[in-house]
Amino acid sequence: MTISSTSLNDVDIAAVAALASAVSADPAKAATRWKADVTWLGGFRTEAAVRDFEPLASDEPLGLGGTDTAPNPVEQVLAALGNCLAVGYAANATARGIPLDSLRIEVSGPLDLHSFLGLRPGHAGFSEISAVVHLESPAPAADVEALHQHVLTTSPVGHTLQSALPVAVSLAG
């Protein structure tokens, strides 16, 4: 646990407050666009370029015909949800003055490969996703529960996965 006058839970309180203030003063600043550029590397291997970071690798397990050099896309979806929830807990705990001693999130979901493999029509994605949050804090249980409920209502990835939204995929030509 890290507590100082400028941070709690290793979150820069001033930076978060400045962002919230800027968005409050100018709601147009809340409209952001995020981007990833994915390049195929052969087989089932790809890499995603995001901002100026090292590329994020993706591959399939050996049993699915890959070389098992990286997490596959559905594992990355689960990781994205867990990572987004973790950010939500850290940011909102900090805003509420709740110190976090530890945080771990288990995310999983069943996926039927029949549709993906072209063996029958149907839903190719997860039939459900569940997450179990392991959060330790000296804060009162009621404060932790209120934090939990708030994070569930404000997670961008959580909301994206729970919503039917348009996804437009076009072939450049």
Nearest by Cα to 151 from 88, 78, 106, 79 = 88
Containing structural domain, residue 146: 72-173
- The whole-number pLDDT of residue 173 equals 86
- The whole-number pLDDT of residue 25 equals 96
> Torsion angle of alpha carbons 108, 113, 115, 117, nearest 10°?
140
Residues 42 and 108 in one domain: no
Name the residue with tokens 């404000």: 154
Residues 150 and 90 in one domain: yes
Which residues fall within 8 angstroms of residue 12, CB to CB, at 6 or more apart?
A: 6
Name the residue with tokens 């089932």: 44
Residues 130 and 159 in one domain: yes
CA 170 – CA 114 distance, rounded (Å): 25
Name the residue with tokens 């940011």: 91
Domain for residue 118, yes or no? yes
CA 6 – CA 23 distance, rounded (Å): 21
pTM of the prediction? 0.90
Domain for residue 27, yes or no? no
Residues 87 and 47 in one domain: no
Domain for residue 2, yes or no? no
- Is 93 in contact with 100 (CB distance < 8 Å)? yes
Residues 81 and 64 in one domain: no
Both tokens assigned to 15: 């930076």
Q: pLDDT (tens digit, 0 to 9) for every residue of the chain, 173 residues total?
A: 444 456 789 998 888 889 889 999 999 999 999 999 999 999 999 999 999 999 999 999 999 999 999 999 999 999 999 999 999 999 999 989 999 999 999 999 999 999 989 999 999 999 999 999 999 999 999 999 999 999 999 999 999 999 989 999 999 98
CA 91 – CA 141 distance, rounded (Å): 18
Last residue of a domain, one of 51, 70, 89: 70
Domain for residue 62, yes or no? yes
- The whole-number pLDDT of residue 62 equals 97
In the chain, % helix, strand, coil (3-state, to 5) comes to 35, 20, 45
Name the residue with tokens 């970071």: 53
Residues 79 and 58 in one domain: no
